Structure 1
Amino acid sequence: MINFLLMLLGQIIVYMLIMLGDEYAGFLLAVIIGAICFGIWAISHIVEWIEPSRVNKNYYRYMLAGWVGPAIAVLGFILLRGEISWLT
């Protein structure tokens, strides 16, 4: 569980630093990677419900962090800045 939290915190820090450097590239990177990880996570869960496998439960935690981390970073960046400046 501690590895999950450390990975989540590390992702949030990295995405926030990228967004501070270049808001447009950081936002797109977080959204694209987050969407891909969410899709893989969702498909994995659906397949697991249909046919259970012996996949380690840590896989699902790490995939969860793969889309929750970018989502928290984007939402935090929007809340701190008040807007996304390249959209206005």
Structure 2
Amino acid sequence: MSSIPKSIRQKVINEAGYRCEYCCTSSRLIGMPLVMDHIFPTSLGGSDGRENLCASCYRCNEFKGAKITANDPVTNESVSLFNPRQQRWLEHFQ
């Protein structure tokens, strides 16, 4: 059971405009409620604090899992995954 209060969940979703903060897909198109993702996973010491939460579609949440880095397929270099609290989507995905 999650310890994130319903009021915080709703605030995160409202602030995200009812869109996944990773793929920007509207929850209306997804057809499922958005879930809370821990940007820095709790398994790695992340908190349930507002600054560490983002609205995510189920697919993005499952794909990201407990990762904070991934290998760039072109350079094979380890790079940080997108952080919607610290990065701008259009700049990160250019």
What is the TM-score when the length of structure 1 is the normalising length?
0.30
Identify, as 1 or 2, the structure richer in helix: 1
What is the TM-score when the length of structure 2 is the normalising length?
0.29
Find the structure with the greater CA-based Rg.
1
Identify, as 1 or 2, the structure richer in strand: 2
